[in-house]
């Protein structure tokens, strides 16, 4: 955040609006979770709201919206790409049978509850 | 001899070293938490069944914790803005709030953990609880780190304001970037674990 006292005061006014938006977003997130929709739609809506809130924090609180450094943009751009690959890798490993139960040994809650002594 | 570019911007990067350094650190943290979110995706997609968060977790308590952490993010940025305006007294007030709010968050989280343990909802109980405990505990450790750093900048570290105000501003900005990141993680963690 750069600049004169006047600019800082304008920023402060913005921060208060963003705070309100984040509070509303939180309430909406919780309310939406009570909707009777499929898991896939629920996940999509929740992640859209979370991403919106996150972008407000990143742009305004972390001042990324004002940053002009190419080094920073390239660093964060690469980070975003690697993060996306990280999210997709586990899905790619099962891309041919998403939605079908896998035989991961600890995926079955009932087997753990029944069997083992700890 | 002073370390260069702690306040002045480097001509090659356009940033001071503090800001570039903290963003590089946050990039590594994205990969840390990203790995765990990726784990969550793999475990959930591969599970025969997966409980709704509400079966094990208390949504009102999670919501309160979310509001607390967002509030602490607001007070952090207000602390930094106060420094930019030269108002040290307001900075101290906002920074104190930024330290105390996550302490409250941890107390509530501690209560949640206590409830889990007393009902034998340990990581060994199920995959869902294993990933819940892992991710929230790692996030909790990050909160403790943030409390320590912000507490230092509220307390003994704030003496730097009188000697080197620009350098102190940069340090608080870096601490703020870290703190907003911790809040960001919870913004995703709360719906993923509690609501879905």
Q: For B5, left (φ over 0), alpha (ψ -120 to 50), or beta? A: left
The residue in chain A having the minimum alpha-carbon distance to the alpha carbon of residue B37 is: A87
E-state strands within B87-178: none
Chain B environment of A67 (Cβ under 8 Å): 15
pLDDT band at A117 (very low <50, low <70, confident <90, very high): very low
Q: Which residue did the predictor score with more confidence, B107 or A31?
A: B107
Q: Which of A18, A26, A80, A103 best tests the B interface by mutation, with the highest count of B CBs <10 A?
A: A26
Measure Cα distances from B3 to A85, B7, B8, B16, B18 in Å: 37, 10, 11, 11, 11
What does the pLDDT read at residue A1?
Answer: 58
CB contact under 8 A, B180 and A102: no
What does the pLDDT read at residue B185?
Answer: 97
| Residue A21: domain span | 5-115
pLDDT in tens, B162-171: 999 999 999 9
What does the mean pLDDT of chain B come to?
A: 94
Instruction: Evaluate if residue A107 carries a pLDDT over 80.
Output: no
Q: Is residue B150 part of a domain?
A: yes
- Among B residues 112-131, those touching chain A with beta carbons less than 8 Å apart: 124-128, 130
Q: Are B184 and A54 in contact (CB under 8 A)?
A: yes
Q: Which of B182, B191, B194 best tests the A interface by mutation, with the highest count of A CBs <10 A?
A: B191
Share of chain B above pLDDT 90, in %: 82
CB contact under 8 A, B81 and A11: yes
Average pLDDT rounded to a whole number, residues B54-72:
94
Instruction: Evaluate if residue A112 carries a pLDDT over 80.
Output: no
What does the pLDDT read at residue B7?
Answer: 85
Instruction: Evaluate if residue B143 carries a pLDDT over 60.
Output: yes
B184 touches chain A (CB under 8 A): yes
Element spanning B116, H or E: helix B88-118
What does the pLDDT read at residue A39?
Answer: 79
pLDDT in tens, B79-98: 999 999 999 999 999 999 99
A5 touches chain B (CB under 8 A): yes
pLDDT band at A118 (very low <50, low <70, confident <90, very high): very low
Average pLDDT rounded to a whole number, residues A87-99:
75
B101 touches chain A (CB under 8 A): no
CB contact under 8 A, B27 and A70: no
Tokens matching residue A3: 């600049």
Domain tally, chain A: 1
CA distance A109 to chain B (A): 6
Element spanning B59, H or E: helix B59-84
pLDDT in tens, B5-33: 888 888 888 888 999 999 999 999 999 99
CB contact under 8 A, A54 and B184: yes
Average pLDDT rounded to a whole number, residues B145-149:
98
B36 touches chain A (CB under 8 A): no
CA distance B192 to chain A (A): 8
Domain tally, chain B: 1
> How far apart are the C-alpha atoms of A93 and B155, rounded to whole Å?
50
What does the pLDDT read at residue B87?
Answer: 94
B76 touches chain A (CB under 8 A): yes
Q: Is residue B135 part of a domain?
A: yes
What does the pLDDT read at residue A98?
Answer: 60
A97 touches chain B (CB under 8 A): no
What does the pLDDT read at residue B138?
Answer: 98
Average pLDDT rounded to a whole number, residues A21-28:
94
A73 touches chain B (CB under 8 A): no
CATH number (domain holding residue B59): 1.20.120.80
pTM of the entire predicted model: 0.89
The residue in chain B having the minimum alpha-carbon distance to the alpha carbon of residue A39 is: B196
B191 touches chain A (CB under 8 A): yes
Q: Which residue did the predictor score with more confidence, A59 or A1?
A: A59
What does the pLDDT read at residue B9?
Answer: 87
CB contact under 8 A, A19 and B80: no
Q: Is residue B176 part of a domain?
A: yes
**ipTM of this complex > 0.90?**
no
Question: Helix B17-46 vs helix B165-190: angle between axes, to the nearest 10 degrees?
Answer: 10
Measure Cα distances from A93 to A88, A90, B40, B131 in Å: 9, 5, 14, 20
What does the mean pLDDT of chain A come to?
A: 82
What is the sign of the dihedral through the CA atoms of A51, B26, B97 and B167?
negative
Which residue pairs from A10-18 have beta carbons closer than 8 angstroms and sit at least 24 positions apart in sequence? A11/B81, A12/B78, A12/B81, A14/A60, A15/A60, A15/A61, A15/B74, A15/B77, A15/B78, A15/B81, A18/A56, A18/A57, A18/A60, A18/A61, A18/B74
Phi and psi dihedrals of B12, rounded to 5? -80, -40
A44 touches chain B (CB under 8 A): no
CA B100 to chain centre: 13
| Residue B155: domain span | 32-195
């Amino acid at each position: 955040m750069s600049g004169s006292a006047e600019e800082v005061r304008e920023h402060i006014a913005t921060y208060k609006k963003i705070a309100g938006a984040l509070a509303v977003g939180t309430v909406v997130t919780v309310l939406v979770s009570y909707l009777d929709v499929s898991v896939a739609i629920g996940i999509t809506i929740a992640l859209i709201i979370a991403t919106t809130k996150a972008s407000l924090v990143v742009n305004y609180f972390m001042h990324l919206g004002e940053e002009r450094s190419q080094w920073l943009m390239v660093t964060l751009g690469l980070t975003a790409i690697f993060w996306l690959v990280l999210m997709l890798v586990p899905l790619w490993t099962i891309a041919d049978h998403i939605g079908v139960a896998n035989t991961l040994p600890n995926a079955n809650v009932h087997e753990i509850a029944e069997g083992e002594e700890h | 001899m002073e370390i260069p570019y702690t306040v002045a911007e480097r001509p090659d990067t356009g940033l001071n070293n503090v800001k570039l350094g903290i963003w590089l650190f946050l990039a590594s943290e994205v990969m840390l938490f990203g790995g765990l979110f990726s784990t969550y995706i793999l475990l959930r997609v591969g599970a025969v069944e997966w409980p709704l968060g509400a079966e094990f977790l208390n949504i009102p308590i999670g919501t309160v914790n979310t509001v607390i952490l967002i509030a602490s993010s607001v007070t952090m940025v207000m602390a930094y803005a106060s420094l930019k305006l030269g108002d040290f007294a307001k900075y101290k007030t906002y920074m104190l709030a930024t330290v105390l709010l996550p302490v409250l968050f941890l107390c509530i989280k501690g209560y949640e953990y206590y409830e889990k343990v007393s009902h034998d909802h340990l990581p060994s109980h199920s995959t869902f609880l294993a990933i819940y405990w892992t991710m929230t505990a790692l996030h909790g450790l990050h909160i403790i780190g943030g409390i320590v750093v912000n507490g230092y900048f509220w307390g003994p570290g704030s003496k730097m304001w009188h000697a080197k105000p620009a350098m102190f501003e940069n340090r608080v900005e870096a601490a703020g970037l870290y703190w907003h990141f911790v809040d960001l993680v919870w913004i995703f963690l709360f719906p993923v674990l509690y609501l879905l």
